[in-house]
Chain A
Amino acid sequence: GESVGLHLPTLSVQEGDNSIINCAYSNSASDYFIWYKQESGKGPQFIIDIRSNMDKRQGQRVTVLLNKTVKHLSLQIAATQPGDSAVYFCAENRGDYKLSFGAGTTVTVRA
C-alpha cells in the first residue's frame, strides 16, 4: 500500500505487503529528517532518521528515501505486520534543535 501524492491521512495495507508513506516538507533549509511512529496513548517513537547529505538510509524492515529536489520524504516498511498499525509522522529539523512535524498518516494493517 502507498499514500500517494503529497500526503494522505490514512493508509490501509494488507499484512505482509510493503507500505510506503509519503511526506512533503516545506523548508529547503531543513537538513535533518526523522520518522516517528505513534501508537494510541503513547508518545512518538523514533524509527529512523536521515541527513540531507544522503538519499537513502535503511534500518530493520524500514527504508527512508529523501528527494531534496522536490522536497519529498518517504518511509517504506517491508512485510508490514499488525504491530505496525499506528500514526506515522515525518519531522524536519530546520537548522536548530526544533522539530517541525507533519500532519501524520494513520496506517491500518489488515489481517
Chain B
Amino acid sequence: GAGVSQSPRYKVAKRGQDVALRCDPISGHVSLFWYQQALGQGPEFLTYFQNEAQLDKSGLPSDRFFAERPEGSVSTLKIQRTQQEDSAVYLCASSLGGSGRVRETQYFGPGTRLLVL
C-alpha cells in the first residue's frame, strides 16, 4: 500500500520567503508527526497531531513555524519569513493509533529538503 508522501521533495527559498510543506500520511492513521533533520544529525521532534488536534507543538523552534491538519488527514507545515538556519530536511511520520501509552511504529515519508539562501 501507499506510504507517507511529502511534497515538494526539494524547496529552495530566499531568506524572508514563506514556505508550505505538505504531508499525506498513510490512510487511516490517526497520529501524525513532524520532525526536523539537520545535516548529519538525527531527526528532532517538532509537533504531533492526533486526528485534527495538535496535541504537542513543543518542538517548534519559533513562532515562525506553524502546522495544521484541519481534516485529520493531510498536514501542512508552514514556515514564515524563512531564515538560513531553517535549512534542513523536514520529515513527516504517521502511526495508526492515538497517543496514550501505546507504542506504535512511526512510518516516515521521504522528507522535504529545504534550502534557504
Contacts and interface: CB of A to CB of B under 8 A. Distances in A.
Interface of A: 31-32, 34, 36, 41-46, 49, 51, 89, 91, 93, 95-104
Contacts, number: 55
A104 B41 contact: yes
Contacts of A36: 108
A103 B107 contact: no
A43 B93 CA distance: 9
Contacts of A98: 45, 48, 56
18 contacts: A31-B103, A34-B105, A42-B111, A43-B93, A43-B111, A44-B91, A46-B107, A89-B42, A91-B42, A95-B101, A96-B101, A97-B99, A98-B45, A98-B48, A99-B43, A101-B43, A102-B42, A104-B40
Given A44-B91, A51-B103, A93-B103, A99 B45 contact: yes
Contacts of A46: 105-107
How extensive is the interface on chain B, given as a class? 20 to 34
A7 to B, nearest CB: 11
A43 B101 contact: no
Contacts of A45: 108
Given A43-B110, A44-B91, A101 B101 contact: no
A29 B91 CA distance: 26
Given A43-B4, A44-B43, A89-B42, A99 B106 contact: yes
A102 B42 CA distance: 6
A89 B37 CA distance: 12
Contacts of B43: 44, 89, 99, 101
Contacts of A34: 105-106
A43 B48 CA distance: 18
A104 B43 CA distance: 10
Interface string B85-117: 000000101010001010101111111000000
A103 B41 contact: yes
